[in-house]
Amino acid sequence: MGFLILIIAGIFTGFGFIIGIEYWKRKSILGYQNGYEDGIEDAFRFKQ
């Protein structure tokens, strides 16, 4: 029973790790420019 839980946990953490890396890659490539521009827009809005 404990072994099965370890296997399931390993699968979930493995998938989580892979998804996390993919998400971070997409965030850093696609989201970097958009996030940067949004940050500038928010800063201007905050000043006004």
List the chain domain ranges.
16-48
Question: What per-residue confidence (pLDDT) applies to 19?
Answer: 74
User: What region does 33 belong to: left with phi over 0, alpha with psi -120 to 50, or beta?
Assistant: alpha
Per residue in 4-47, pLDDT tens? Answer: 777 777 777 777 777 777 777 776 665 555 555 666 666 666 66
User: What region does 30 belong to: left with phi over 0, alpha with psi -120 to 50, or beta?
Assistant: alpha
- Which of the 8 DSSP states describes residue 1? -
Model confidence pTM above 0.85? no
Question: What per-residue confidence (pLDDT) applies to 12?
Answer: 75
